[in-house]
C-alpha cells in the first residue's frame, strides 16, 4: 500500500474498517490530561514529549499541551520501578515529573497534585489518558468524560503482574454521539473495569521485594509504548484500523483490538478476552 510523504498527517484510504481522527485536532494545539503517574503513567508522561516533537516535525501547527494529575507523593518503594530518586521522596509525583520535562524539553506543561474527583468538569481537554490502578479511579474517569463533557478520546491503560491492555475510545458526550462506528471505550466493552465493588483494596507495597512481586519490571514501559504508538499512528496517518491491544510479557505476545463494530458487540455480550485487572 502506498502512503503519502512523511510531511502529511493523512494516509491513503484502507479497505478495512478504520477510524478517522477528529479533524480539529490536526488544526490546533491538542490538550492532553494524564490521570495517574505511577508505573504506567510516569512512562506515558516521559514519552509524550517525543510524540509532541514528532507532531511538530510532521507539520502539526502546535503539538501537545499536557496536564498531569496525581495526588500521590513519591515513596521510597516508588524508586524501585518508577523514575523517581530518593531525593524526591515526599514530593508530589506529578510536580516532579512535569518540572523535569519542562526543564529538559523547554515545555510549559502543567501539574495538578490532586486526584481526579467524580463529576469534576474537564474544561478544554481533548484526550484523557487514564493510568490508574483501581476500578474506582477508572469509574471516575468514565464519569468525568461522559455526559456534558466534550473530551474527544479516552485512552485507558491497565496492567497486572506481567500483562496489560490499552484501549482508545470515544466517550458518549457532547462531542461523541451514539453511532455504530464510535470507538468503544474500555467501560463500554468491559463494564467490570469500572465496577468499584470488584476492587480488592490491597494495601500499597511497603518494600522493594513486594513491589517487584506485584508487578514485573518493564510491563509498564511496554504498555506505555504501545499506547503512545497508537496515538502517534492516529496523528501521523489520520486514521487507525485498531484502537487498542493486549500485551503479555509472560508469553511474549500481543494482540490488537480492531476497529470492528461486530467485535465490539461480541465483547459487550461477555465473550472471551477480558482485559487485565484493574
Q: What is the pLDDT of residues 152-165, one digit of tens each?
A: 999 999 998 899 99
Mean pLDDT, residues 45-63: 98
Give 126-151 pLDDT, tens digit per residue: 999 999 989 999 999 999 999 999 99
Distances (CA, A) of 273 to 13, 149, 193, 240, 269: 29, 30, 13, 21, 12
Prior bond of 278 cis (ω within 30°)? yes
All structural domains of the chain with their residue ranges: 23-268
Q: According to the model, what pLDDT value does residue 271 have?
A: 43
**pLDDT at position 269 over 80:** no
pLDDT higher than 70, residue 6: no
State the pLDDT at residue 3. 42
pLDDT at 196: 85
Q: Is the pLDDT of residue 213 over 80?
A: no
Residue 204 clears pLDDT 90, i.e. is over it: no
Strands 19-20 and 239-240, sheet pairing: antiparallel
**pLDDT grade for 26, boundaries at 50, 70 and 90:** very high
pTM, rounded to two decimals:
0.89
Write down the number of H helices and E strands in the chain: 8, 10
Pick the CATH number of 23-268 from 1.10.150.240, 3.50.50.60, 2.10.60.10, 3.40.50.720: 3.40.50.720
Amino acid at each position: 500500500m502506498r502512503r503519502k510523504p512523511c510531511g502529511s498527517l493523512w494516509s491513503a484510504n484502507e479497505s478495512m474498517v478504520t477510524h478517522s481522527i477528529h479533524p480539529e485536532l490536526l488544526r490546533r494545539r491538542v490538550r492532553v490530561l494524564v490521570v495517574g503517574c505511577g508505573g504506567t503513567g510516569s512512562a506515558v508522561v516521559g514519552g509524550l514529549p517525543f510524540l509532541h516533537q514528532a507532531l511538530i516535525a510532521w507539520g502539526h501547527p502546535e503539538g501537545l499541551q499536557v496536564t498531569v494529575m496525581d495526588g500521590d507523593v513519591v515513596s521510597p518503594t516508588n524508586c524501585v520501578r518508577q523514575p523517581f530518586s530518593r531525593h524526591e521522596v515526599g514530593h508530589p509525583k506529578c510536580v516532579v515529573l512535569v518540572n523535569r520535562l519542562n526543564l529538559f524539553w523547554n515545555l510549559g506543561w502543567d501539574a495538578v497534585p490532586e486526584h481526579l474527583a467524580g463529576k469534576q468538569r474537564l474544561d478544554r481537554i481533548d484526550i484523557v489518558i487514564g493510568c490508574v490502578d483501581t476500578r474506582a479511579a477508572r469509574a471516575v474517569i468514565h464519569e468525568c468524560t461522559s455526559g456534558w463533557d466534550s473530551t474527544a478520546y479516552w485512552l485507558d491503560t491497565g496492567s497486572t503482574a506481567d500483562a496489560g491492555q490499552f484501549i482508545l475510545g470515544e466517550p458518549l458526550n457532547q462531542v461523541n454521539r451514539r453511532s455504530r462506528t464510535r470507538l468503544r471505550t474500555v467501560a463500554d466493552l468491559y463494564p467490570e473495569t469500572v465496577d468499584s465493588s470488584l476492587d480488592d483494596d490491597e494495601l500499597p507495597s511497603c518494600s522493594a521485594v513486594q513491589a517487584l512481586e506485584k508487578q514485573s519490571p518493564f510491563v509498564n514501559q511496554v504498555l506505555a509504548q504501545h499506547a503512545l504508538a497508537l496515538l502517534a499512528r492516529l496523528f501521523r496517518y489520520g486514521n487507525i484500523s485498531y484502537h487498542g491491544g493486549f500485551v503479555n510479557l509472560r508469553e511474549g505476545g500481543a494482540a490488537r483490538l480492531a476497529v470492528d463494530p461486530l467485535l465490539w458487540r461480541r465483547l459487550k455480550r461477555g465473550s472471551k478476552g477480558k482485559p487485565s485487572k484493574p
